[in-house]
Amino acid sequence: MAGSLAGADGVFWIGVLTVVGLLAWLGFGMARNRKPDLYQPRKLFDELCKLHRLDRREIVLLHTLAKERQLEMPALLFVHPEHFTPGLRHDDDGYVEALAAMRTKLFGDEPTIERPAAA
């Protein structure tokens, strides 16, 4: 009788271990296959700032501008030179000049582009 109980316990624990192992394997597999979140607007903005070697003051300026223009993605500033034209209510000459300098830095006076080779 005692022998049969010991055998039943053994089967139980083997079953438990098997289920745990299976769950662990599935969990690892899913974690490994899960794609990283590639949609990161904030990171894109950082990448662009880094690309253009903008300093903290310039980054703050872009953030301020993005907030002012109510842009969901600050990275949009890098493709829209028209956002760098100050609004009428701005009378801060320093701010206006900074925007103009930034616009020129990112787009130039006449925004033409050098064509890279076709991929």
Query: Which residues sit at the interface with another protein, rule CB under 8 A?
Result: 38-41, 43-44, 47-48, 51-52, 73, 75-76, 78-82, 104-116, 118-119
Q: For the CB of residue 49, give the shortest distance to another protein in the complex, in Å.
A: 11
DSSP 32-78: HHSPP----HHHHHHHHHHHTT--HHHHHHHHHHHHHTT-S-GGGGG
Nearer to another protein, 72 or 91 (CB): 72
Minimal distance, residue 107 CB to another protein, in Å: 6
Which residue, 7 or 80, has its beta carbon nearer to another protein?
80
- How far apart, in whole angstroms, are the C-alpha atoms of residue 34 and residue 30? 6
